[in-house]
Chains A and B, each alone.
Chain A
Amino acid sequence: MKSAVIVFPASNCDRDAATALEQITGSKPAMVWHGDADVPDADLIVLPGGFSYGDYLRCGAMAAQSRIMRDVKDKANKGVAVLGICNGFQILTEAGLLPGVLLRNTGLKFVCRPVEMVVEESQSAFTRAYQNGERVRFPVAHGEGNYFADDATLDRLEGENRVAFRYAPSDNPNGAARNIAGILNERRNVLGLMPHPERACDPRLGSTTGRPLFESLIESLA
Chain B
Amino acid sequence: MSAITPDIIRAHGLTFDEYSRIERLLKREPNLVELGVFSVMWSEHCSYKSTRAHLRRLPTKGPQVIQGPGENAGVVDIGDGDVVVFKMESHNHPSFIEPYQGAATGVGGIMRDVFTMGARPIAMMNALRFGAPQHPKTRHLVSGVVAGIGGYGNCMGVPTVGGEVNFHPAYNGNILVNAMCVGLARADKIFLSAAKGAGNPVVYVGSKTGRDGIHGATMASAEFNEDSEEKRPTVQVGDPFTEKLLLEACLELMATDAIIGIQDMGAAGLTSSSSEMAAKGGAGIELDLDHVPQRESNMTAYEMMLSESQERMLMVLKPGREAEAERIFKKWELDFAIIGQTTDTGRLVIKHKGAVVADMPVDALSEEAPVYERPYTRKAKLLPLDSRTVDDTRPPLVSLLRLLQSPDLCSRRWIWEQYDHSVMADTVQAPGGDAAVVRVHGKTKAIAITTDVTPRYCRADAFEGAKQAVAEAWRNLTAVGAVPLAVTDNLNFGNPERPETMGDIVASVDGIGEACRALSFPVVSGNCSLYNETNGEAILPTPAIGGVGLLRDVRHMATIAFKSEGESIILIGETRGHLGQSLYLRDIDGREEGPPPPVDLANEKRNGDFVRSLIEARRADTVHDVSDGGLLVAIAEMAMASGIGAQLSMPDDGIAALFGEDQARYVLTVGEKRAAAILADAKRAGVPARIIGTTGGADLVLPNGDKLMIARLRNAHEAWFPLYMSGDPV
Contact = CB atoms under 8 A, between A and B. Distances in A.
Instruction: Decide whether A and B are members of one complex.
Output: yes
Interface of A: 9-10, 12-13, 15-16, 19-20, 49-51, 53-56, 109-113, 139, 141, 143, 196, 198-199, 201-202, 204-205
A23 B423 CA distance: 17
Contacts of A201: 425
B486 to A, nearest CB: 25
Contact of A110 (B332, B418, B424, B439): B418
B418 A12 contact: no
Interface residues of B, number: 31
Interface in B147-175: 147, 150-151, 154-157
Nearest to B427: A205
A20 B425 contact: yes
B494 to A, nearest CB: 33
B241 A53 contact: yes
14 contacts: A9-B333, A10-B155, A10-B245, A13-B157, A15-B424, A54-B240, A54-B242, A56-B241, A109-B417, A112-B421, A198-B425, A199-B423, A199-B425, A205-B422
Contacts of A51: 154-155, 157, 240-241, 244
Given A15-B424, A19-B425, A204-B439, A54 B154 contact: no
Interface string B381-421: 00000000000000000000000000000000000111111
Contact of A10 (B244, B423, B441): B244
A201 B425 CA distance: 9
A141 B155 contact: no
A101 to B, nearest CB: 20
Nearest to B244: A10
B69 to A, nearest CB: 31
Interface string B696-723: 0000000000000000000000000000
A113 B415 CA distance: 12
A11 B157 CA distance: 8
Contacts of B428: 204-205
B554 interface: yes
Interface hub of A12, A53, A109 (most chain B Cβ within 10 A): A12
Given A10-B244, A10-B245, A51-B241, A111 B418 contact: yes
A16 B418 CA distance: 20
Interface in B614-673: none
Given A51-B241, A54-B241, A112 B420 contact: yes
Nearest to A143: B154
Given A55-B155, A198-B425, A204-B554, A9 B240 contact: no
A12 B157 contact: yes
B424 A112 contact: no
Nearest to B146: A109
Contacts of B155: 10, 12, 51, 54-55
Contacts of B82: none
Contacts of B424: 15-16
Interface hub of B240, B242, B423 (most chain A Cβ within 10 A): B423
B239 interface: yes
A15 B157 CA distance: 10
Nearest to A10: B244
A60 B441 CA distance: 28
Nearest to A111: B417
Contacts of B156: 12
Given A51-B154, A51-B155, A112-B418, A9 B241 contact: yes
